[in-house]
Amino acid sequence: MKNKNSEDSKEYLSKKSFFDKIVTIYGRNAVLEALEDNSITIYRLHLSDSNRDVAQLERMVSIAKKRDIEILYHNKKELSRISKNSKQDQGVALDIILQHALSEDEFLEKHDSFRVIALDGVHNPQNLGMIIRSCAGGDIDAIIIPTKKSAQITPLVIKSSVGAVFKLPIIKSRNFIKTLENFKTHNSKLFTLSSHATKSYRDEVYPNRTIFILGNESSGVSLEVENISDSSISIPMRRGVESLNVAVTASLLAFI
């Protein structure tokens, strides 16, 4: 006899895993550009039922039908809940599937060795986009992005990454500290980047499972993260320059 609770649990986890891959973008130009790009996998197109008939919206609907994308209509309140930005969604939102997004446990199951960059409160979407592009082009196997108090995948991030967001494994973390601790229990070593660290990133020996943690643009890595990290490294600077932009730092680490 089958265990229904077990089956329901598996179905829930499967759905949860799928929806973790969904990123919702908004704004008419951004949505139309995404619809026109056949390399982007799309789940649903959301439209406000109060939208006036204009050529741009008609083209969205036409493309969605040709690509067999589900179209849903909502009132303004429902659409703002989906877009999470009622002031800028312009009555449209689009669910994009990040094919390479996965949970931390899925990632750990698939990789015996890795280099990962984890972002501790990076707020600037352009920085996030450039970090993703560098990591995708370099020797980084995934990027960890907290779902709170951090920049998320938006049209600006997608544009800044020049499409690299669809090529790099992205791990969304609902609890950043617990995610890092989970990696530690799986024999990962955590390195925080700090301008005050005495050891250069060039002189460190990195193990098979390495996590580089980059902090907020102004305040750096949080104290809570510092307390659980294994080591702190720096990028030596000359001529009195204090530090590098976080996206530049990520680029250097991606090509060690």
Residue 239 phi, psi (nearest 5): 55, 30
Please name the residue that has the structure tokens 């949080």. Answer: 222
* pTM exceeds 0.75: yes
Per residue in 57-78, pLDDT (tens digit) is: 999 999 999 999 999 999 999 9
Q: What pLDDT is stored for residue 213 in this prediction?
A: 98
Cα–Cα distance measured from residue 153 to residue 2, given in angstroms and rounded to the nearest whole number: 40
Per residue in 88-99, pLDDT (tens digit) is: 899 999 999 988
Per residue in 134-180, pLDDT (tens digit) is: 999 999 999 999 999 999 988 889 889 988 998 899 999 999 999 99
Please name the residue that has the structure tokens 């984890």. Answer: 118
pLDDT at 11 over 60: no
CB 132 within 8 A of CB 157: yes
| C-beta pairs of 33-39 under 8 Å, 24+ apart in sequence | 34/94, 34/96, 34/155, 34/158, 35/60, 35/63, 35/64, 35/67, 35/69, 35/94, 36/63, 38/67, 39/163, 39/166
pLDDT at 39 over 90: no
Per residue in 176-216, pLDDT (tens digit) is: 999 999 999 999 999 999 888 999 999 999 999 999 999 99
To the nearest 5 percent, what fractions of the chain are helix, strand and coil? 40, 25, 40
**DSSP 3-state of 136:** helix
Nearest to 197 by CA among 212, 186, 185, 184: 212
Residue 193 phi, psi (nearest 5): -95, 125
* Band of residue 2 on the pLDDT scale cut at 50, 70, 90: very low
Q: What pLDDT is stored for residue 17 in this prediction?
A: 65
CB 225 within 8 A of CB 177: yes
Nearest to 125 by CA among 151, 143, 158: 151
